[in-house]
Structure 1
Amino acid sequence: METEILSDEELADITGYKARAWQRRWLDDRKWLYVESRGKRPLVGRMYARMKLGMITPTIIDPNPPPAVPAWTPDFSRVN
């Protein structure tokens, strides 16, 4: 089972570096977001990495969707 954080090997494959300082520099140069562990290891989320690599596209859900158009409305123009 995959974890939510990229492993050391996966991060080395993406950045091309095994040294954590060079990995952080690579991530900073490309404006990737990451969190550092207490051991200065860059922690990159798996879904974020997939999005940055173009494997998935983010979907934005509008919190205020437009009102639904009714299928039928009564015609009151002929009512007296």
Structure 2
Amino acid sequence: MLSATDRAVFKETMAGLAGVGYEPLVVRKQVVAGMNYEFFCNARVVYPGTDWYPATVLIHKPLQGNAVIKKISKIAAH
């Protein structure tokens, strides 16, 4: 489950991103020189009538400084 800290990192890091809305559902974390976050999200293009799709957002939060988006991937349906 997402903690308040997880949600804050996600919200702060994604604040400048436009065009697609992401709703984080769960997170996997890895302690490194800081923290790696892999968020599993529902996503959709910010346009009326568009459908949600699954995606992952990889974020790195260094020990000092701001978190950065490392990769965003749409999860393909099988």
TM-score scaled by length of structure 1 = 0.24
Higher percent of residues as helix: 1
Higher percent of residues as strand: 2
